[in-house]
Amino acid sequence: MLALRLIERKRDGGHIEPGEWRALAYAYAAGHVPDYQMASFLMACFLRGLDRSETHALTDAMLHSGDSLDLAYLNRPRIDKHSTGGVGDKVSLVLAPLIASLGVAVPMMSGRGLGHTGGTLDKLESIPGFDTRMPLLEARRLIETLNCALFGQTEEIAPADRKMYALRDATGTVESIPLIAASIMSKKLAEGLTGLVLDVKRGSGAFLPQLERGLELAKTMIELGADHNCPVVALVTAMDRPLGRACGNALEMEESIHALKGEGPADLMEVTYALGSEMLLLAGAARTGAEALQMMEQAIADGSAARHFQRIIEAQGGNPSVVDDPAILPQANEVEIFVAPRRGFISRVEPRAIGRGITALGGGRTKMDDKLDLSVGFVITARPGDWVEAGEPLATVFARDRAGIDSGRATLRTAIAIADEANPPLALVSHRVSAAGVEVLAAG
């Protein structure tokens, strides 16, 4: 009866009170509200929207449906980074050990890949032995000793959100700003953060391609953070092409290790440093962006970031020698170079096509219980705006077998466009959003 009353109220544009959100989230998590009622309610939320107090109350309700990482006793800043997801986006793999090595706690609860975007947990698990499943107590111990734990959302964290997210995925109610914001923030607040940096992707490969929608999400998350004593800063970054060169789980792990050793591609480093600066500033570990950048470059140059990653890998059951010898990562059986079919400017490297291509190779999921081949993917050296001659190598396909190579070649033919005129890509880091408002960092 409660659920039906709330469905009808939200359907008619009415307001749901904090106690009602709490009762609904608890009842749903406990199985007292059937999926079909929650589905109807979520569609009403999608179409009618949630106001700020409702979004706040839903976040709280989902957060308190489960446990939290209580880390206040650490007396250390605790900062996480969240990305809205993209292709080739391995920033977390570089940033978590790098920032943790600088004395800031990074309790990084991540997800798995679904659809065209990859997931941090899958990439980490390409390291032999690496275990991302742990109870909250173990995550706490790791954060205490190493400033970092790289783990998945446990059953204990925001169970109402877990169940609701799976339902939204099946009922066409994912792309709602308040529902997305509440879902992310309920999990992030469960990490016991003192600050959060948000990487809002825009462009054709982003979850919310339009800038306006990305800014709206950032604004909503910033408000939620302010309501919960967790300041949030967001950067808008480009996802009209993959980030870095490697796309695929083990391939991205390898590129991240290179990045931690000072050999990362320029675009990956630019985004990593931009987000890392915000983390260090939120933590109070640096006073200016220039100081933050200098700290990070130093940690990479002197090897302390890479060494810190080794310690984290070891603590999570992985083989730490991967940092010195990435060749112990899973290797694809078949490898083939893809060359330019004609001369011209690279006008487009379409992230969605690449992401779907990884899934076609067996390295991505269309549903949550798909098993992955972590070795497969693409390394794409061609960048939008490059001039190329016919026959020039643009990318490499990594596949399980010859059929995979054929599939990968077909993917690259669709994903990489060559034209007579250059088509300028989006600015890599274009906007900064904080409680003070939106700052344009770069045009385009």
What is the contact surface with its own copies in residues (CB under 8 A)? 4, 7-8, 11, 34-44, 46-48, 167, 170-173
**Torsion region of 186: left, alpha or beta (phi above 0 gives left; psi -120 to 50 gives alpha):** alpha
Point out the catalytic residue in the list 82, 163, 219, 241: 82
CA 201 to chain centre: 10
Q: Can 141 be counted among the known catalytic residues?
A: no
**187 part of the active site:** yes
- Among 248, 262, 396, 245, residue whose Cα is nearest residue 323: 262
Choice among 161, 240, 267, 373 that is catalytic: 161
Tell me which long-range contacts 6-10 makes (C-beta under 8 A, separation of at least 24): 6/41, 7/37, 7/40, 7/41, 7/44, 10/41, 10/44, 10/45, 10/48
Q: How far is the CB of 204 from its own copies (least distance, A)?
A: 18
Structure tokens at 340: 């330019």
Structure-block tokens of residue 210: 């339009």
Query: Is residue 82 annotated as part of the catalytic site, yes or no?
Result: yes
Check if 287 is active-site.
Answer: no
> Closest approach of Cβ 28 to its own copies, in Å?
12
Residue 273 CB, shortest distance to its own copies, in Å, is 38
Closest to its own copies by CB, 35 vs 131, is 35
- Report the nearest approach of its own copies to the CB of residue 176 (Å): 10
In the complex, least distance from residue 239 CB atom to its own copies, rounded to whole angstroms: 21
Give the C-alpha separation, 444 to 440, whole Å.
10
Nearest to 425, CA basis, from 279, 243, 252, 296: 243
Q: Which is nearer to its own copies, 8 or 263 (CB)?
A: 8
Q: How far apart are alpha carbons 281 and 308 in whole angstroms? A: 21
Catalytic residue flag (residue 256): no
16 or 292: CB nearest its own copies: 16
Cβ proximity to its own copies: between 37 and 434 the closer is 37
Give the Cα separation of 245 and 266 in Å (integer): 10
From 162, 168, 219, 245, active-site residue: 168
The smaller minimum CB distance to its own copies, of residues 3 and 340, is found at: 3
- Rounded CA-CA distance 298/296 in Å is 5
Residues belonging to the active site: 82, 161, 168, 183, 187
